[in-house]
Amino acid sequence: MTNHWIDIRNSDVILIMGSNPASNHPIAFKWITAAMEKGAKVICVDPRFTQSAAKAHIYAPLRSGTDIAFLGGMIRYIIENKLYFEEYVRNYTNATFLVNPEFKLPGDNNGVFSGLTDGKYDKATWSYQTEGDGRIKKDPTMQDPNCVFQLMKKHYSRYTPEVVNKITGTPVDKLIEIYKIYGSTGTPDRAGNELYAMGWTQHTVGTQNIRTMCIIQLLLGNMGIPGGGVAAMRGESNVQGSTDHGLLFHIWPGYLNTPKASLATLAAYNEKETPTTKEPNSLNWQKNKPKYVASFLRAMYGTNASLDEAYNLLPKIDDGANYSWLNLFDVMYKGKFTGFFAWGMNPACSGAHSNKVRQALTRLDWMVNVNLYDNETGSFWRGPGMDPKKIRTEVFMLPCAASIEKEGSIINSGRWNQWRYKAIDPPGVALPDGDICSEIYFKVKELYEKEGGPNMEAITKLSWNYGTKTFDGHYHFDPHSVAKEINGFFLEDKTVENPTKKGEFKEFKKGDPVPTFAWLQDDGSTSSGCWVYCGSYTDKNMSARRDGKKDPTGIGLYPEWAWAWPVNRRIIYNGASVDPSGKPWSAKKAVIKWVGDKWVGDVPDGVGDPGSGRPPFIMKPDGVASLFGPGLADGPFPEHYEPLECPVEKNFLSPQKSNPTIKRFDKPGVGSDVDVYSGIDSCDPKYPFICATYRISEHWQTGLQTRWCPWLSEMQPEMWCEMSKELAKERGISNGDKVIVSSPRGEVECVAIVTPRFKPFNINGNILHEVGIPWHFGWITTKDRQYNPGDKKAEVFTWGDAANLLVPTIGDANTTIPESKAFMVNVVKK
Ligand SMILES: Nc1nc2c(c(=O)[nH]1)N[C@H]1C(S)=C(S)[C@@H](COP(=O)(O)OP(=O)(O)OC[C@H]3O[C@@H](n4cnc5c(=O)[nH]c(N)nc54)[C@H](O)[C@@H]3O)O[C@H]1N2
Ligand SMILES: Nc1nc2c(c(=O)[nH]1)N[C@H]1C(S)=C(S)[C@@H](COP(=O)(O)OP(=O)(O)OC[C@H]3O[C@@H](n4cnc5c(=O)[nH]c(N)nc54)[C@H](O)[C@@H]3O)O[C@H]1N2
Ligand SMILES: [Mo]
């Protein structure tokens, strides 16, 4: 989130689109309610009439996978009706930048941007015109036909309400009503916020869905202000923290890119990764990257290795390789892995095309399941369709402590790092994940030291000062020592110039914590496990702070409750909340204020002294936010494309039907050539209905933490398929009937729930049906004794298998997230 949960109460208009917080973020929904009590309008756009829709003032249906069309229409409306915040757009975005005249928009280029060959864009034309000295050419009047603003206007001029209606199925009057209300937040005194989660990400255009909203928020001047921003409501309790700390294959902690194999030295990496700019007033904060990289390398290897050696020891990604989820399971399916740690996950149910995932697990020599419970992954070998005698995989179960059975920190969607304490001991031999990890580390190290092996120093030289062997024979790790290492230390005595006050020096002693990331060094004299967390554990554990009363700004920042990254800033991009002379755009909604000689309020982001001319988006090399975003794989402006599996013959906007750059697994050379059913891109009449998977309050994820709870299983005991009354009638299905939902990947038995919450879509005169299925079920808790022989307790648990048996493995062009919110199925009565 750019802002934070409490801040939602400051919004005037809240758009819930791509999520269902009343069900999936029910506690946080109180801040939406608080905003409503102050007069805020709430809009909900979802293919189904959800619990959130029931609370909203306005609900509009849209066909799954068509959000860019819906929002593209909003951009058009905002521009046509001059609802945008012109001064903000001119000064704080790249609207004025002149683009290469060779650049072509999809409207002039058969539905694709210039530069496409073989499913990949050459971005040469997605560039800016420059002056002789390298500065970007600009037109402050935003009239030049090649300036970003005019290109954007032209691009979205195709998204008329009539065309949008043909694509989305949303009635034209609803579109206009929503565009008007949301567009009303383009004035300085009003703020609009958008709440999204998986309804937007799980698409082949997932990243571009969110980009479209960012463009709207920038046009309306909603970034950096209270009640504004784009709210990525995160899912798993600590998913924000794990992403910050390098969970994904392509990023090191703190969003530094994982090095590619071709960047053979630290110098080459820094040269490639450190952005430069010719813009005279831009701060270009990321020029400091080498300091964060050096400090990360020190956190990994301490002084056991030089910086260059540490860089060499860490794994690199082969150029062009992608190690994300779908690819990993594809490679495993092809039998190319020996072993696998399923650590805190249940891919046999959570992974798209679960049949493929389950088959992949049979091709391993060994698998370690680190979990609270046995699950469909650990027990895959005794699941449906499996013959244990024919499966060679050896499975180890390592029972582990649950969140309340261990101490540590957790980072919420608002970037707040909050310390938690252990409430009770874990049962039996279960250990905290950190202890298990430490135990494995020391054993592997011992083996390397005894037997040697390639690149052994990568392990043996690691700095692992997280605890020592104790009386019970385990390497108990101390979460405080990890938290301190994440913050970082000085590794030697050093006198450093104050990064914000020239000529002022500060002395540090070896072992002193680094106060903030501005003090990190590139010469190896500091460490920091994750630079954006530098400042989180200084003289005290900042994340353990619990002052819920102090609110000096009065806008609910509560700066002494826990600690927010970066530098305890609660609203990022707040430098854009003041005008170029330093005055808050709105006195009523001030986040920061200049008083005499300093800024007060939130920790200021990016602003220089008033009148300095420094553009506030300092994380962007040019200092301004991107309406034109050439960083993405599939285009600098979002364009509507149909989901790969789609119910319509054509894209009403262009001859290009689906996103040309998506990750496919059904073509030889780009993934599994054995698995032709990973995604179908024709309108196959055998699978006439759109399907989206979704969540409910009573179950959590693949259900492991809820399906074993009798009281929750009793509330939601069975796998179901939700459908409209009209579809049920067409198929002769009554509420409560057993139905089979099938796709080319598999089938799932469901109970039919016939409701008015789904309504058929009228798509350019064709009636199309969408159905919805939850993805919380799995066979291990099923009543069917076949899978729980002799287990009497199994009777009381749930029935049904995973929704993902149906989901295709097609990935978004930027993130490779599977398209689990828009694929095609058939539904028949059993
Ligand atoms: N009780 C409970 N809470 C949870 C979870 C849980 O399992 N149980 N999971 C957590 C996790 S990990 C996450 S990531 C979050 C996810 O939170 P959400 O994103 O809210 O979860 P979903 O229910 O998967 O999807 C939200 C909505 O998207 C709609 N939708 C489907 N297709 C489209 C589309 O094309 N466009 C639009 N606009 N909407 C569409 C669905 O109908 C659904 O109502 O929830 C978290 N909270
Ligand atoms: N069709 C479809 N598929 C989806 C989604 C969807 O909307 N539709 N949503 C996707 C999303 S957003 C997500 S986040 C993924 C989630 O995918 P997974 O992470 O694979 O699924 P979970 O059920 O959350 O698995 C978490 C596991 O961790 C265990 N666990 C809980 N606490 C601990 C702990 O402290 N330590 C350890 N070691 N284990 C613990 C639980 O028992 C559980 O088995 O699924 C994705 N899959
Ligand atoms: Mo999630």
pLDDT digits over 541-571, tens only? 999 999 999 999 999 999 999 999 999 999 9
Q: Are strands 41-45 and 13-17 parallel, antiparallel or unpaired?
A: parallel
Q: What is the pLDDT of residue 674?
A: 35
Q: What separation in Å is there between the alpha carbon of 23 and the centre of ligand 1?
A: 9
Tokens of 362: 């049979």
pLDDT of residue 811: 87
Alpha carbons 436 and 433: distance in angstroms, whole number: 5
- For helices 206-219 and 67-80, the axis angle rounded to 10 degrees is 20
CA of 700, nearest ligand number: 1
pLDDT at 80: 98
Does position 787 have pLDDT exceeding 70, yes or no? no
Q: What is the mean pLDDT of the chain?
A: 94
Q: Whose CA is nearest to atom 20 of ligand 1?
A: 19
Give residue 745's pLDDT: 86
Per-residue model confidence (pLDDT) at position 670:
33
In the predicted model, is pLDDT for residue 611 greater than 90?
no
User: What is the tens place of the pLDDT at every residue in 508-543?
Assistant: 999 999 999 999 999 999 999 999 999 999 999 999
Instruction: State in Å: Cα 440 to ligand 3 middle.
Output: 27
Number of the ligand closest to the Cα of 345: 2
Write the pLDDT tens digit of every residue in 249-265. 999 999 999 999 999 99
Express each pLDDT in 470-507 by its tens digit: 767 778 889 999 999 999 999 999 999 999 889 999 99
Compute the distance from residue 195 Cα to the ligand 1 centre, in Å: 11
d(CA 123, CA 117): 11
CB count in 10 Å sphere of residue 135: 14
**Distance in angstroms (rounded) separating the CA atoms of residues 224 and 585:** 11
| Predicted local confidence at residue 189, as pLDDT | 96
Mutate to test the pocket of ligand 1, among 771, 821, 823 (most ligand atoms within 8 A of CB): 821
Closest residue by CA, ligand 1 atom 4: 24
233 CA → ligand 3 middle, Å: 9
pLDDT (mean) for 305-319: 97
How much is the pLDDT for 671?
Answer: 33
Query: Which ligand 2 atom minimizes the distance to the CA of 373?
Result: 42
Ligand 2 centroid – CA 365 distance (Å): 24
Give the whole-angstrom CA distance, residue 702 versus residue 801.
10
Residue 786's CB: how many other CB atoms inside 10 A? Answer: 11
Distance 199 CA to ligand 1 centre (A): 5
Number of CB atoms found within 10 A of residue 398's CB: 18
In the chain, the domains with their CATH numbers are 5-232 (3.40.228.10), 250-319+439-565 (no CATH), 325-438 (3.40.50.740), 689-829 (2.40.40.20)
Q: What residues form DSSP beta bridges with 377?
A: none
Which residue among 369, 701, 781, 812 has the greatest number of ligand 2 atoms within 8 angstroms of its CB, and so is best to mutate? 701
Atom of ligand 1 nearest to the CA of 696: 1
Residue 642's alpha-carbon distances to 102, 679, 691, in angstroms, are 27, 14, 14
**Closest C-alpha residue for ligand 1 atom 12:** 235
- Report how far Cα 172 is from the mean position of its chain's Cα atoms: 31
Residues whose CB falls within 8 Å of the CB of residue 637, separated by 6 or more in sequence, listed in order: 105, 113, 151, 152, 155, 156, 215, 628, 629
- Which tens digits make up the pLDDT trace of 202-215? 999 999 999 999 99
- Residue closest to 702 by CA, chosen among 790, 798, 615: 798
Q: Whose CA is nearest to atom 9 of ligand 2?
A: 350
Portion of the chain with pLDDT greater than 70, in percent? 96
With a cut of 50, say whether residue 785 has pLDDT above it: no
Rounded to an integer, what is the distance from CA 189 to the centroid of its chain?
Answer: 30
> Which two three-digit tokens encode residue 772?
């919805």
In the chain, the amino acid numbered 730 is E
CA of residue 318 to ligand 1 center, whole Å: 34
Judge whether residue 791 has pLDDT over 70. Answer: no
Is 646 near ligand 2, meaning CB less than 6 Å away?
Answer: no
Distance CA 816, CA 139 (A): 37
Q: How far apart are CA 203 and CA 194, in angstroms?
A: 18
Regarding the beta carbon of 820 and ligand 2, being less than 6 Å apart is answered yes
Angle, vertex CA 553, rays to CA 549 and CA 557, nearest 5: 60
Q: Which two tokens stand for residue 43?
A: 């809009």
pLDDT tens digit sequence for 652-705: 999 999 999 987 775 433 333 334 455 566 678 889 999 999 999 999 999 999
Question: Residues within 5 Å of ion ligand 3 by Cβ?
Answer: 235
Mean pLDDT (whole number) for 612-622: 96
How many whole angstroms separate alpha carbon 389 and alpha carbon 391?
Answer: 6
pLDDT at 790 over 70: no
Of 1, 5, 20, 24, best ligand 1 pocket probe by most atoms within 8 Å of the beta carbon: 24
Please, are residues 143 and 151 in contact by the beta-carbon 8 Å criterion? no
The model's pLDDT over 11-60, given as tens digits with 9 standing for 90+, comes to 999 999 999 999 999 999 999 999 999 999 999 999 999 999 999 999 99
- State residue 678's pLDDT score: 55
SS3 of 151-173: the string is HHHHHHHCCCHHHHHHHHCCCHH
Taking alpha carbons only, the member of 179, 195, 183 closest to residue 84 is 183
